[in-house]
Structure 1
């Protein structure tokens, strides 16, 4: 059962270093995933809007939206007129999501190199350099949002909205898990930057195979980093 007496101040959680304009429901969503990862919530836990409103000290509306998204991502199961039940956030689930990601993202990177203009490539290089500074800035949630924008810019060049839609629907939850664990940490700054650099070099050398492989390696490494952090947590 959820402890109804515990109240968490989202402004004092990891969300405090999120972008200032981040919607409250995203902070709630991260908090729910954080409670799941940390063991405060366990698979089978019954959640209600009233319980979560009390726990996170926010109104019903952001709670409802956070629950709706987590249901769509397979983390929660709706119970008619009784709230939601938490499903297991297992290693197998995470690996399956990353299998989807690595296939689609490497394909989109390959296609993007084939379609990119010189302006596209210059813009990606600039985004990469700006992201590097953010990663090292000590603002992991801000860097996380810019990282999403960086990858979305790459995949947008490929002009395959159907693939992007599938990708987005299956990756929100793993992003939320990563953010709930604190986002980028100093021990991975240089590693992530180097992985992104290989992707950019694939574009600059007009080598679709190299870019696709760089994305494959980057997403696979991100999976392994996330699983290690979940296990440590």
Structure 2
């Protein structure tokens, strides 16, 4: 009908070439296939993914914003170095925000919210059983996002999501390099879910604090040792 807004029925756009390239290169950096300090030649990536250099450059610019790569004069693009100071700062900011955010989420969580967290936990457990560190690492971020979702604190959640995006690389390194890290994270995730199911915001905040401190301590020890 004339004047009718039909935008709601427009086809959903498929991921662009740049989106797909950024996702694939990001995954290889997070999996430590592209190592800290390694040069990423745009021509090589374009050949590997059978695209022109332009979308490769745009994808790398996105990853630069995420802190995963660095554009350097006369050196091209390299994978960002791992920084103990940056990692410690990111975890310290998490400590200031996530325990309180989780407590608010517990107070507001619905049965559906808890079921969503349980679904991710089941996937994490399966990934751990299969020894799939990359998948467990990706699900770790999904798990924390699901824990915080019921809080209804959008500004804080945006900040925390950005933090966890930047910290994802360090978490995956912890899972790959630290003995028993996956088992410890799995056990602590069970404790976080139990606090949510018990509707206990104080226990939830305390367990989230311990979870973050444990990961931070293990990573600092691994990098400085």
TM-score by length of 2: 0.71
User: Secondary structure of 2:180's partner?
Assistant: helix
Q: Deviations over 1:171-221 (max 9, x none)?
A: 323313444677598723331121012111211221111111211211222
Q: Does 1:28 align with 2:25?
A: yes
Q: Report what 1:226 is aligned to.
A: 219
User: Secondary structure of 1:138's partner?
Assistant: coil
Q: Give the alignment partner of residue 45 of structure 2, picking from 53, 57, 66.
A: 53
Quote how far apart the aligned CAs of 1:145 are.
Answer: 2.2
Give 5+ residue unaligned stretches, structure 2: 1-18
For the 8 Å contact 1:49–1:63, the answer to whether it is kept is: yes
Paired with 1:225 and 1:65, the residues of 2 have a C-alpha distance of 35
For the 8 Å contact 1:31–1:180, the answer to whether it is kept is: no
- Which structure 2 residues correspond to residues 84-233 of structure 1 after superposition, within 5 A? 84=77, 88-179=81-172, 183=176, 187-231=180-224
Q: Report what 1:5 is aligned to.
A: none
Comparing 206-215 with 65-74, greater Cα deviation is found at: 65-74
TM-score by length of 1: 0.69
Quote how far apart the aligned CAs of 1:157 are.
Answer: 0.9
Paired with 1:126 and 1:86, the residues of 2 have a C-alpha distance of 34
Quote how far apart the aligned CAs of 1:131 are.
Answer: 2.1
Paired with 2:90 and 2:186, the residues of 1 have a C-alpha distance of 23
Q: Report what 1:73 is aligned to.
A: 66
